[in-house]
């Protein structure tokens, strides 16, 4: 049994694989966080209290020793004695913001209920997990709050979410509705987060905890390039392979906050959820509000152990549909080859070379619709540009299919250009505020997906295109952040709900479209990695990792992304050299080795390849087809950190340890370079392995404990890829 309740001690013990998460009901009905870490049979020691809690209020009727300000509260409020960061806050009609939630009841059930209208982890059998729902009530307002915890049997993961129900007689306003809060009894941690910008996403950032609040957040309307909805606490002795690590990841694609507060007693409170900045939600009597889900992962095997738990859980229980377990096709995308300037003949020429190289899918990017010759018009006009494609999309798809290639297409359905037929017909369909200007980003505005009529119209437009021809892949883009966030359809007291309602509308559109077209492989994109989060992976099993395709920059981007997200979620392409983002010249081999550490493809003009380049690309495509199941679904181990030196390395190991792939890269050449070895991970120490490229036979123990000699590489930006197979 995953979840138990001891009525004598009033302690819940949630056991997820090798993890325990414990909650205690205190006298007075307060809910306290008791423990989170390696699996415990029980916890016999009680919470500790000061004899005289100076400057910390004590609840009315208490013995004077108990104060909420020093108690590890499971879902804390503000205003009744706990002076730290609250998990939630409400406002009543009289203007007050005080609430007092106490334990009412609980239920333990098999499996995991769905979250209505929101993406979340799931189970396929009830035996995979148990769920605890604890009901709290505020006696004055009638507010009911249901805390939901799912403990997974096979993963060291706890999924948490919260449901607010107004069972009172008067409306109330939700001001803050975080999904999870956890109190730790010390501050002996470093905090890791994934930060950056457009074209520099998810760089690993580590800092020691200090007194006060350390936070990452997005106020941009999406999970953002700048910060990912993830933080982790690392014990001071934690490494890639050892030590305690606690991960927090929000299954949400909009504004978020994730933070750690160290209080006056060096206790640490970590919380994560919807960003309360510019947010409120009006809750009439009888109405309910559901928070997004937070996925909490504990590892006693360092950062790598946490990552592999997230990878396996998300690959199999966040991603859904036909392509969840299917190897992803090798593709070529025409964007950096042609940008907006193409004809059907040019596209066919690129596809012909793609066929010669063994590529399986051609993707037509931006510029195929409306009057789209640049980025200044036509978003929202989802009909074929007959100037470029005079015989229509069906003709181009047929040409590509005759080459025995699948066909994919780019959309940006959430956007509208002021210069478009759709905008001229419906200027109120974009996010806007009355009497204010409408800021442009990439010459475009954002459609108001908080509106049902807008969502339904977009669903119809996309359905018409996807039904018009045999399309097997969609790249779904979103190329700007939100400004002037307001909706023409919402009353004044609900305007601060717009950003969250937009995300709910987006999820509704995605659920409808992906259900209607289950045979289509959907890839999400937001200027590259601006919305790389588990919420999007629920609908689309892969994401365009970054618009930056430079192989050297991708070392850090893909390494950082792997901290949380599975390799099967990462799109990675070989692009032109000099690179279009940074101007760097790297070899086709290095570009290929790094791109093969994800969902592999090309994004350049294949028709300009020399014969030598064609031969190398043929080899890359053939090799990737051999190893892609291992890359996309194997266990991933990080070996050398590009944020700490001149080298990067990682490897993929089969679940049965029978084969592995190692990728090593050195950025800058080193004069008179010393000899070095690379220690591998995840192999069978008692087995022997043969290096496929050389025939050399080595023991798994030797490869892991002594290492394999790294090659002597000449020049900057070099790479090395090798395959290992266990000797039977």
Instruction: List, by residue number, the catalytic residues.
Output: 477, 547
Separation between Cα atoms, residue 247 and residue 262, nearest integer Å: 17
Q: Specify the pairing of strand 157-166 against strand 143-152.
A: antiparallel
Q: How far is CA 66 from CA 47, 263, 266, 407, in A?
A: 10, 17, 18, 66
Task: Let me know if 511 is exposed, middle or buried by CB neighbors in 10 A (0-12, 13-18, 19+).
Answer: middle
Task: Let me know if 626 is exposed, middle or buried by CB neighbors in 10 A (0-12, 13-18, 19+).
Answer: exposed
Q: How many CA atoms lie within 13 A of 626 on its CB side?
A: 14
| SS3 state of residue 462 | helix
- Tokens coding 65: 């020793």
Write the DSSP string, 332-348. Answer: EE-HHHHTT---HHHHH
Closest alpha carbon to 223 in 179, 255, 260, 177: 255
CA-based end-to-end distance of the chain: 39
Helix 611-633 vs helix 344-357: angle between axes, to the nearest 10 degrees?
A: 70
Distance of CA 450 to the CA centre of its chain: 22
* CA torsion through residues 415, 419, 422, 425, sign: positive
Task: Read off φ and ψ for residue 158, nearest 5 degrees.
Answer: -125, 125
| SS3 state of residue 672 | coil
3-state SS, one letter per residue, for 30-66? CEEEEEEEECCCCCCCCCCCCCCCCCCCCCCCCCCCC
Q: How far is CA 699 from CA 659, 676, 728, in A?
A: 13, 18, 12
Q: Specify the pairing of strand 245-251 against strand 227-235.
A: antiparallel
- Tokens coding 305: 């152990």
Closest alpha carbon to 233 in 200, 274, 184: 184
Count other C-beta atoms under 10 Å from residue 10's C-beta.
15
Distance of CA 147 to the CA centre of its chain: 23
Q: Sheet harboring 718-726: ordered strands across? A: 635-640, 647-653, 659-666, 718-726, 688-691, 697-699
């Amino acid at each position: 049994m995953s979840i138990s309740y001891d009525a004598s001690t009033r302690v819940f013990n949630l056991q997820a694989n090798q993890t325990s998460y414990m909650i205690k009901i205190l006298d007075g009905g307060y809910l306290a966080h008791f423990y989170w870490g390696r699996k415990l049979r029980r916890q016999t020691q009680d919470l500790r209290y000061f004899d005289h809690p100076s400057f910390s209020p004590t609840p009315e009727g208490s013995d004077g020793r108990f104060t909420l300000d020093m108690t590890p509260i499971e879902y804390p409020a503000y205003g009744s004695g706990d002076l730290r960061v609250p998990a939630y806050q409400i406002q009543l009609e009289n203007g007050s913001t005080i609430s007092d939630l106490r334990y009412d009841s609980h239920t333990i059930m098999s499996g995991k209920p769905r979250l209505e209208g929101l993406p979340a982890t799931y189970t396929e059998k009830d035996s995979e997990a148990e769920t605890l729902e604890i009901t709290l009530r505020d006696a004055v307002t009638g507010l009911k709050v249901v805390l939901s915890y799912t403990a997974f049997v096979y993963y060291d993961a706890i999924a948490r979410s919260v449901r607010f129900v107004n069972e009172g007689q008067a409306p109330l306003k939700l001001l803050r509705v975080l999904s999870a809060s956890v109190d730790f009894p010390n501050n002996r941690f470093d905090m890791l987060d994934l930060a950056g910008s457009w074209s520099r996403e998810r760089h690993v950032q580590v800092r020691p905890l200090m007194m006060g609040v350390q936070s990452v957040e997005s106020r941009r309307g999406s999970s953002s390039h700048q910060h990912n909805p993830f933080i982790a606490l690392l014990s001071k002795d934690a490494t890639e392979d050892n030590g305690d690590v606690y991960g927090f990841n929000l299954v949400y694609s909009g504004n978020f906050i994730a933070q750690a507060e160290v209080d006056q007693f060096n206790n640490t409170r970590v919380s994560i959820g919807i960003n309360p900045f510019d947010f409120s939600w009006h809750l009439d009597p009888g109405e309910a509000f559901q928070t997004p889900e937070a996925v909490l992962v504990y590892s006693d095997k360092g950062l790598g152990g946490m990552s592999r738990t997230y990878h396996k859980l998300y690959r199999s229980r966040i991603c859904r549909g036909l392509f969840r377990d299917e190897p992803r096709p090798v593709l070529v995308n025409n964007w950096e080859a042609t940008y907006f300037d193409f004809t059907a003949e040019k596209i066919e020429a690129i596809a012909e070379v793609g066929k010669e190289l063994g590529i399986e899918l051609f993707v037509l990017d931006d510029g195929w619709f409306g009057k789209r010759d640049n980025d200044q018009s036509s978003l929202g006009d989802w009909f074929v540009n007959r100037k470029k494609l005079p015989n229509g999309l069906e003709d181009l798809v047929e040409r590509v299919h005759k080459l025995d290639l699948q066909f994919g297409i780019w959309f940006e359905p959430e956007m509208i250009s002021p210069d478009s037929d759709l905008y001229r017909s419906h200027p109120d369909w974009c996010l806007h505020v009355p009497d204010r200007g409408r800021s442009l980003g990439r010459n475009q505005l954002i459609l108001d997906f908080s509106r049902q009529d807008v969502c339904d119209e977009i669903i119809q437009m996309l359905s018409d295109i996807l039904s018009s021809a045999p399309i097997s892949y969609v790249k779904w883009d979103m190329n700007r952040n939100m400004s002037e966030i307001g909706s023409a359809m919402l009353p004044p007291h609900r305007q601060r709900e717009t950003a969250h309602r937009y995300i709910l509308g987006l999820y509704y559109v995605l659920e409808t479209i992906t259900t209607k077209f289950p045979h289509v492989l959907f890839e999400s994109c937001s200027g590259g990695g601006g919305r790389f989060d588990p919420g999007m992976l629920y609908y689309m099993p892969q994401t365009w990792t970054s618009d930056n395709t430079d192989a050297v920059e991708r070392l850090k981007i893909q390494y950082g992304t792997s901290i949380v997200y599975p390799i099967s979620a990462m799109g990675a392409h070989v692009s032109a050299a000099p690179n279009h983002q940074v101007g760097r010249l790297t070899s086709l081999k290095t570009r290929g080795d790094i791109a093969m550490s994800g969902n592999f493809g090309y994004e350049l003009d294949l028709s300009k390849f020399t014969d030598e380049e064609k031969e190398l690309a043929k080899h890359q495509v053939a090799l990737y087809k051999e190893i892609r199941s291992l890359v996309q679904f194997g266990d991933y181990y990080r070996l050398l950190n590009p944020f700490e030196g001149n080298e990067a390395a990682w490897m993929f190991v089969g679940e049965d340890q029978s084969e592995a792939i190692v990728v090593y890269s050195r950025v800058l050449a080193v004069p008179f370079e010393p000899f070095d070895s690379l220690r591998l991970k995840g192999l069978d120490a008692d087995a022997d392995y043969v290096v496929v490229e050389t025939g050399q036979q080595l023991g798994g123990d030797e490869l892991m404990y002594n290492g394999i000699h790294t090659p002597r590489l000449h020049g900057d930006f070099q790479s090395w890829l090798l395959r290992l197979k266990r000797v039977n």
